């Protein structure tokens, strides 16, 4: 019988192989933490944008006569919140990918996926304008735009989860699609409240879960160094 420390047929010690596997696993976890380092901030930014933005839209008519936010104020604030979330996403995404050279296939996938976002939203906006030109009343337009956008966001999240094999992202995408399917039945302006609570809320919940995961992974004893780059 060969002793536990005896080399195998390739001349490698079992302890060396185990150490190598531990090193590989540690590096994989370290890279996962680095790639996910900005996810809580991104989800938090979108959670605030959706929750506060849609809540302001709801307050245009949803809480009358106690509160009535002017349409211009709500619309401008909503646009600024969404723009701010986009900036946070871009900055944090750049920080997370800094110094990482993706494989050619992954770079192509990421580029096509990234360009699909603005093209999709532009197409939905054009469709909405075409429907208005053809007689869609403002009340229906106020339901169409957030609903169509949320469905698109959900589909893109599901695709992202499928491409990068991330079940939480798929679950979030499925949730957004479900919210978009239900919200229009509440009618104007209550559907805004549904989007604020159900869609904005899941962004905020996702931010909390991602932060807790990162915090827990950083406390593991095998983490020799933490990456906050």
Predicted pLDDT of residue 218: 65
Average pLDDT for 101-125: 85
Nearest CA among 132, 129, 145, 133 for reference residue 188: 145
Mean of pLDDT values over 112-121? 93
Confidence of residue 50 (pLDDT cuts 50, 70, 90): very high
Q: Which one is predicted more confidently, 27 or 167? A: 167
Averaged pLDDT, 8-30? 55
- Alpha carbon distance 52, 46 (integer Å): 10
Does 173 or 214 have the greater pLDDT score?
173
Percent of the chain with pLDDT over 70: 74
Helix (H, G, I), strand (E, B) or coil at 2: coil
Q: Mean pLDDT for the chain?
A: 83
* 66-107 confidence digits (pLDDT tens): 889 999 999 999 999 999 999 998 888 777 666 556 666 677
- 181 versus 31: which is more confidently predicted? 181
Name residues whose C-beta falls within 8 Å of residue 151's C-beta, 6 or more positions apart in sequence. 176, 177, 180, 181
The pLDDT value given to residue 97 = 65
Residue 22 has pLDDT above 80, yes or no: no
Confidence of residue 200 (pLDDT cuts 50, 70, 90): very high
User: Given pLDDT bands bounded at 50, 70 and 90, which one contains residue 37?
Assistant: confident
Please report which confidence band the pLDDT of residue 171 belongs to, taking 50, 70 and 90 as the band edges. very high
pLDDT for the residue numbered 7: 54
pLDDT bin (cut points 50, 70, 90) of residue 228 is very low
- With 0-12 / 13-18 / 19 or more C-beta atoms within 10 angstroms meaning exposed / middle / buried, residue 142 is middle
């Amino acid at each position: 019988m060969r002793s536990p420390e005896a080399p195998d047929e390739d001349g490698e010690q079992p302890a060396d192989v185990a150490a190598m596997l531990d090193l590989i696993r540690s590096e994989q976890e370290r890279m996962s933490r680095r790639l996910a380092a900005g996810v809580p901030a991104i989800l938090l930014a979108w959670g605030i944008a959706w929750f506060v933005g849609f809540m302001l839209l709801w307050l245009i008519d949803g809480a009358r006569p106690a509160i009535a936010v002017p349409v211009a104020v709500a619309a401008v604030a909503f646009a600024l919140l969404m723009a701010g979330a986009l900036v946070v996403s871009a900055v944090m995404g750049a920080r997370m990918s800094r110094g990482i050279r993706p494989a050619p296939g992954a770079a192509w996938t990421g580029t096509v996926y990234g360009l699909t976002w603005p093209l999709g939203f532009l197409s939905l906006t054009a469709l909405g304008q075409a429907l208005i030109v053809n007689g869609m009343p403002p009340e229906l337009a106020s339901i169409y735009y957030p609903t169509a956008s949320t469905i698109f966001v959900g589909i893109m999240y599901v695709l992202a989860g499928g491409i990068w094999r991330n079940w939480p992202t798929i679950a979030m995408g499925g949730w957004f699609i479900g919210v978009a399917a239900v919200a229009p039945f509440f009618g104007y302006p209550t559907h805004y409240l549904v989007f604020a609570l159900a869609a904005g809320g899941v962004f905020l919940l996702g931010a909390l879960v991602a932060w807790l995961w990162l915090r827990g992974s950083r406390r593991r004893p095998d983490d020799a160094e933490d990456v906050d780059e």
